[in-house]
Structure 1
Amino acid sequence: MATSSEKIWTDFSESHHLTNKTFQTRWFGEQSNSAEVQDLTNKILAGDKISTSKPLGYYSSEGEQIPQVGDYYVLLNADMHPVGIIETVVSELVPFFRVSAEHAYNEAEGDRTLSDWQERSQTKFTKQMKKYDRTFSTNDPIVCEVIKLVYKD
């Protein structure tokens, strides 16, 4: 039987003496694309994927809070079952055209080069923002986040 998100969080937070901390659940990739979600989950669990990014406009359109340093998330796999806990260790706003090659590499997607990241991300972000009747520009701020796997189930 799969462990619940609450159980994983309780076990982790108690063993690490975390008080007044909460968590949210999170997965990476489009939920409708289970292969993508599982691939990204596997990369996080293997320690290959340690960064991610989204346009700032996504957060305001979704009414979501921007990840903050010290935020915890129960990581879900493609079946939406908890498999670990990640922590945000860096969260910064960077103009799209100023995202670093290091950040692109650490996203662990494509060929891991900055040019590949820019091409894939511009396409993805343009499509993503179109869902909210918004346009995406390479001058737009991007939330660049570095995550750390702190617990594996």
Structure 2
Amino acid sequence: MTVLQFWNEYLAKTGQKPQDAVYNGELCFEDSGWTGQSQLNLVLGEKKTAIFTPFPSFEINREKLPVAGEVYVVEDTQENPCAVIRVKDVKIIPFSQISWELAQQDGEDENLEAWQEKERDFFEEEADLCGFDFDEEMPVVCEIFELVYKKI
């Protein structure tokens, strides 16, 4: 099924009119393999309801910051559409000030320290790839979202 077919199915099953629906593109968690699939499973199980991205990544890649209300088709690691999420809120917070309440929405870790360690590793890799330096006071874009539709 193509993304357009999936989007049309979503509109039909939710009763939305195409002119009223906001479509912002596709989203795939991680690059591929087990990590991407495990992230997707957390989203589909509604355990992952947030995405954390280093602010410099948006600047360097010349991407617009997300805003509440945006809707994305989520693809699996094979680029097959499987869900629709809606951004509920966007916060920009220094890494060191992200609370456990917010970090829990990532859906994976047992405590704030474990989340920080994992994210530090991820952000340092992202920093190396994109050409910026990670530090504890670096702003992080926190997208809080909700699953609004999934392929059954």
TM-score by length of structure 1 reads 0.90
Shift of 1:142: 0.3
Identify if the C-alpha distance between structure 1 residues 93 and 83 changes in structure 2 by more than 3 Å, giving closer, same or farther.
same
* 1:62 lines up with 2:61 in the alignment: yes
In structure 2, C-alpha distance between the alignment counterparts of 1:145 and 1:40, rounded to whole Å? 15
Give the letter for the 2:86 counterpart.
E
Shift of 1:107: 0.3
Give the letter for the 1:17 counterpart.
K
Question: Of the candidates 138, 141, 147, which is equivalent to residue 136 of structure 2?
Answer: 138
Q: Please, what is the CA RMSD of the aligned residues?
A: 1.4
Tell me, yes or no, if the aligned pair for 1:9 and 1:23 is still in contact at 8 Å.
no
TM-score by length of structure 2 reads 0.90
In structure 1, C-alpha distance between the alignment counterparts of 2:11 and 2:60, rounded to whole Å? 31
Higher helix proportion (structure 1 or 2): 2
Shift of 1:13: 3.5
In structure 1, C-alpha distance between the alignment counterparts of 2:63 and 2:33, rounded to whole Å? 22
Shift of 1:131: 1.1
Aligned match of 1:122? 120
Gaps of 5+ in 2: none
Aligned match of 1:102? 101
Give the letter for the 2:17 counterpart.
H
Please give the per-residue CA displacement for 1:29-88, whole angstroms capped at 9, x wherever unaligned.
2x1x31111111111001111111011001111122211100111001111110010010
Shift of 1:145: 1.0
Question: Of the candidates 127, 138, 149, which is equivalent to residue 151 of structure 1?
Answer: 149
Q: Report the secondary structure of 2:132's partner residue.
A: coil
Gaps of 5+ in 1: none
